[in-house]
Amino acid sequence: MRPILLKGHERPLTQLKYNKEGDLLFSTARDKIVNVYYSHNGERLGTYSGHQGALWSVDVDPTSTIAATGAADNTIKLWEVRSGRCIHTWNFPTAVKVVQFNEDGNMLLAITEQRMGYQGTVYVFPVIIDVEAKQAEEPIIKFSSPENKFTKAGWSYLNKWIITGHLDGSVSKYDAKTGELLQKVVVHEKEVTDLQFARDMTYFITTSKDKTARILDTKNLKIMKTFVADAPLNTGAITPLKDYVILGGGQDAKDVTTTGSRQGKFEARFYHKIFEDEIGRLKGHFGPLNHIAVHPAGTGFASGGEDGYVRVHHFDKSYFDFLYDVERMRPE
């Protein structure tokens, strides 16, 4: 499984995103630009330039017409995917940490950072999937969590709920139409660092600095599975086709210069989704893994690291042929 190595950024990666078909891969980093690549060969298709601060998040609508980005310059920008032209900008009092389109592509979820006396806030904007259309300036929903900082957020199936992760390790469920808090559960001991849904969106995975990842039921936020790692986790993703999850993280970035890659534990870790056992690791990055995105068809994945590199992996035949034997793989 030899990766394609992409060096399109000069600063640490923050997020990777495949489009719905999986033929395009978008990447954001702390260097003010968004890159888009052909996922099958890593050829860079183009760059979206215009932000004045680090990029934190990127998403693309289901038709691959419009991309959205959130950044530390306190803005969300909408881009025409084809040309790289910025078609709209929303301004906020603090940095935008998450942007995500709903299943239909007609609403955009965003969360802003809690800072400088401003509360962290969830916004939902209506979006018209037309590059010539005038976009609405005001959100249709807006709500805050004064006592608990948002770190991650995502849409549930059928756009029924908004699921959020928090600094204290909890996960909350809000009504997507009213913004009402419906449920809150403590899932981790430390902050939630990533939140990614399965393909059918009925369950999702969270990761944390407490060295664990958990799969939760979207409907009732019940913890279904727990995966224990030996290093702080920054990201986790659920693979289609095979019953695996891929986790990434490693030693904190500020301590990286004091250890080698082996001690820093910068591998991508594969766990069996059902039995919760670690079944393999993939080396490569020279710093913590900041984000992992799985190809929508389940044929590969991409990882972005603190080292500024994107590594695109296409699964080979051995991955699909591998059969997990619980009795043989588990130690006595």
- Residue for token digits 């995966």? 227
Q: How confident is the model at residue 274, as a pLDDT?
A: 95
DSSP code, position 118 = B
User: What's the one-letter identity of residue 272?
Assistant: H
Cα–Cα distances in angstroms (integers) from residue 131 to residues 18, 81, 105, 128, in the given order: 20, 9, 13, 8
| pTM higher than 0.95 | no
Asked if 126 contacts 106 with a C-beta cutoff of 8 angstroms, the reply is yes
Asked if 83 contacts 41 with a C-beta cutoff of 8 angstroms, the reply is no
Q: Which of 1.10.10.10, 2.130.10.10, 3.90.1170.30, 3.40.140.10 would CATH assign to domain 4-329? A: 2.130.10.10
Q: How confident is the model at residue 256, as a pLDDT?
A: 53
**Mean pLDDT, the chain cut into blocks of 10 residues (332 residues total):** 92 97 97 96 96 97 98 98 97 97 97 90 97 96 90 96 96 96 96 97 97 97 97 96 95 60 76 95 92 97 95 94 72 48
Task: Enumerate the domain spans of the chain.
Answer: 4-329
Q: How confident is the model at residue 145, as a pLDDT?
A: 86
Q: What is the pLDDT of residues 73-88, one digit of tens each?
A: 999 999 999 999 999 9
DSSP code, position 157 = G
